[in-house]
C-alpha cells in the first residue's frame, strides 16, 4: 500500500493558497518559496510540547549565496519582505522565518509566547542554516524584528557578522506587560477590519497612493491562523521586547528610519536616535516600513554595510 501524506494544516493551507491567490504577485512568489522546517533543536527549549509541533515551521528561502536572515515585525509575517527579496536574492540566500507565535507558525496550546521563546526558535533556525553554510550570516530586522535582531546578535555573535535595522522598535524603554483581560480586549480590537486598515495606512508615507486591496489583504491574512488571538494575547502579557538596545551588539550595525514614521511615537524615536547616534540614516518620503516604501534604498544600504570592512 502507498502511504498517504497527511492533509495540510490550516496554516500550511493558508500559505499554499497565498501562493496562487494573493493579489500582490510578489507576495504570491514569496509564499511559493515557503518551506516547512523541522527544528529538533527546540526540544526542551520551553514549557509544554510546543517544540515538537508536527506541522513544521514556515521559512521562505530564496536565492543563492551567503545567508541573510530577515526578521519581520509585531503581528506580521514573512510577506513583509516581498518587495526587498528580488533586490537581494541574486547575491544572497534569503532566509525569512515567521517569528514564533506570529505569522503562520504553529501555536501549540502548551507554549510560552514571550521573547525567550522567539529567540529559542530563531537559534534553532540559525542552527539549521549553519548545517549547510559555515560562513557568517547577515541579519536584517524590521520594527520589533529590529530588537529581536539585536538580542539574537548578542547571543550568537560568532554566527552573525552585521546587522541592518529598519525603524527598530523596542530598543529603549522597559517591558510593559498587558494585564489579563486587557490583552483579550486589545486582540479583539486588532482583529477589526477598520482597525487593521487604519494601522496599515499609518505604516506608509503616502497611504492614499500605496494602500489598496493588495496591501490590506497581506496585512490581515495571518489572522486566520489557528491560535492567533491566544498567542498574541499571551505575548502582550509577557511585556514583549523592550530595552533591547543597551548595550548594542559589537557587530557593524546600520539603521534606516523613515522621516514619515507615524507608528513609533516621537519620544520613542528620540530615545532610539540618542542610543544609535550616527548609525542612523533617515529616508525622505518613507514611513515605518522602509523595506516596503523604499526597498531599493534598503538594498543599497545592505550592500554598503556588507561591503564595509569591520
pLDDT digits 0-9 by tens, 57-88: 999 999 999 999 999 999 999 999 999 999 99
The number of beta carbons lying within 10 Å of the beta carbon of residue 12 is 18
At residue 278 the predicted structure's pLDDT band, cuts being 50, 70 and 90, is very high
183 within some domain: yes
Under 8 Å between Cβ of 240 and 144 = yes
Could you say which DSSP state residue 229 is in?
A: H
pLDDT at position 2 is 55
1 within some domain: no
Helix, strand, coil distribution of the chain in percent, nearest 5: 45, 15, 40
5 within some domain: no
pLDDT at position 70 is 98
Under 8 Å between Cβ of 113 and 228 = no
pLDDT at position 134 is 83
Which residues 6+ apart lie within 8 Å of 38 measured at CB?
56, 57
Could you say which DSSP state residue 221 is in?
A: G
Distance CA 141, CA 152 (A): 10
31 within some domain: yes
pTM of the model: 0.95
pLDDT at position 50 is 47
Look over the chain and give the mean of its residue pLDDT values, rounded to a whole number.
Answer: 93
Among 289, 82, 99, 101, residue whose Cα is nearest residue 202: 289
- Please compute the mean of the pLDDT values over residues 1-13 and round it to a whole number: 79
Torsion sign across C-alpha atoms 220, 221, 222, 225: positive
Q: What is the CATH number of the domain that holds 152?
A: 3.40.50.1820
Question: Which residue has 507565535 as its cell numbers?
Answer: 101
Q: What is the pLDDT of residues 223-270, one digit of tens each?
A: 999 999 999 999 999 999 999 999 999 999 999 999 999 999 888 889
Indicate the SS3 state at residue 89. coil
- Please compute the mean of the pLDDT values over residues 27-47 and round it to a whole number: 83
The more confident residue out of 301 and 264 is 301
CA 152 distance to own-chain centroid: 13
Indicate the SS3 state at residue 209. helix
5, 18, 32, 177 from 13: Cα distances, Å: 14, 8, 12, 33
149 within some domain: yes
Q: Considering just the CA atoms, what is the radius of gyration of the chain in Å? A: 18
Domain that holds residue 274: 10-36+46-307
Measured N-to-C along each axis, helices 182-191 and 193-202 cross at an angle, to the nearest 10 degrees, of: 80
- Please compute the mean of the pLDDT values over residues 286-306 and round it to a whole number: 97
Helices H, strands E: what count in the chain?
13, 8
pLDDT at position 108 is 87
pLDDT at position 269 is 86
Per the structure, the count of domains in the chain is 1
pLDDT at position 73 is 98
Distance CA 28, CA 226 (A): 21
The number of beta carbons lying within 10 Å of the beta carbon of residue 270 is 12
66 within some domain: yes
Q: Which residues pair with 254 in a beta bridge?
A: 164
The more confident residue out of 61 and 54 is 61
Distance CA 284, CA 294 (A): 9
Q: Is the pLDDT of residue 118 over 50?
A: yes
The number of beta carbons lying within 10 Å of the beta carbon of residue 155 is 14
At residue 55 the predicted structure's pLDDT band, cuts being 50, 70 and 90, is confident
pLDDT > 70: percent of the chain: 94
C-alpha cell at 155: 547571543
179 within some domain: yes
265 within some domain: yes
Amino acid at each position: 500500500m502507498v502511504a498517504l501524506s497527511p492533509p495540510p494544516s490550516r496554516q500550511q493551507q493558508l500559505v499554499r493558497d497565498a501562493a496562487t491567490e494573493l493579489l500582490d504577485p510578489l507576495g504570491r512568489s514569496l509564499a511559493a518559496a515557503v518551506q516547512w522546517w523541522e527544528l529538533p533543536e527546540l526540544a526542551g527549549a520551553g514549557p509544554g510540547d510546543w517544540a515538537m509541533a508536527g506541522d513544521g515551521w514556515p521559512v521562505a528561502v530564496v536565492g543563492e549565496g551567503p545567508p541573510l536572515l530577515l526578521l519581520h515585525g509585531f503581528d506580521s509575517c514573512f510577506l513583509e519582505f516581498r518587495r526587498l527579496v528580488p533586490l537581494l536574492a541574486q547575491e544572497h540566500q534569503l532566509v525569512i522565518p515567521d517569528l514564533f507565535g506570529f505569522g503562520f507558525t504553529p501555536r501549540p496550546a502548551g507554549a510560552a509566547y514571550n521573547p525567550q521563546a522567539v529567540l529559542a526558535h530563531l537559534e534553532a533556525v540559525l542552527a539549521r542554516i549553519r548545517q549547510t553554510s559555515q560562513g557568517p550570516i547577515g541579519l536584517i530586522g524590521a520594527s520589533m524584528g529590529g530588537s529581536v535582531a539585536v538580542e539574537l546578535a548578542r547571543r550568537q555573535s560568532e554566527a552573525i557578522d552585521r546587522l541592518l535595522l529598519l525603524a527598530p522598535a523596542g530598543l529603549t524603554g522597559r517591558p510593559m506587560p498587558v494585564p489579563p483581560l486587557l490583552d483579550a480586549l486589545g486582540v479583539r480590537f486588532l482583529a477589526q477590519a477598520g482597525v487593521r486598515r487604519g494601522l496599515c495606512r499609518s505604516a506608509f508615507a503616502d497611504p492614499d497612493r500605496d494602500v489598496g486591496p493588495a496591501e490590506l489583504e497581506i496585512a490581515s491574512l495571518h489572522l486566520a491562523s489557528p491560535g492567533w488571538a491566544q498567542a498574541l494575547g499571551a505575548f502582550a502579557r509577557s511585556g514583549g521586547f523592550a530595552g533591547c538596545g543597551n548595550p548594542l551588539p559589537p557587530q557593524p550595525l546600520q539603521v534606516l528610519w523613515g522621516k514619515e514614521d507615524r507608528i513609533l511615537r516621537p519620544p520613542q524615536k528620540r530615545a532610539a536616535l540618542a542610543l544609535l547616534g550616527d548609525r542612523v540614516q533617515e529616508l525622505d518620503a518613507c514611513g515605518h516600513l522602509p523595506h516596503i516604501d523604499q526597498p531599493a534604498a534598503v538594498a543599497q544600504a545592505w550592500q554598503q554595510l556588507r561591503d564595509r570592512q569591520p
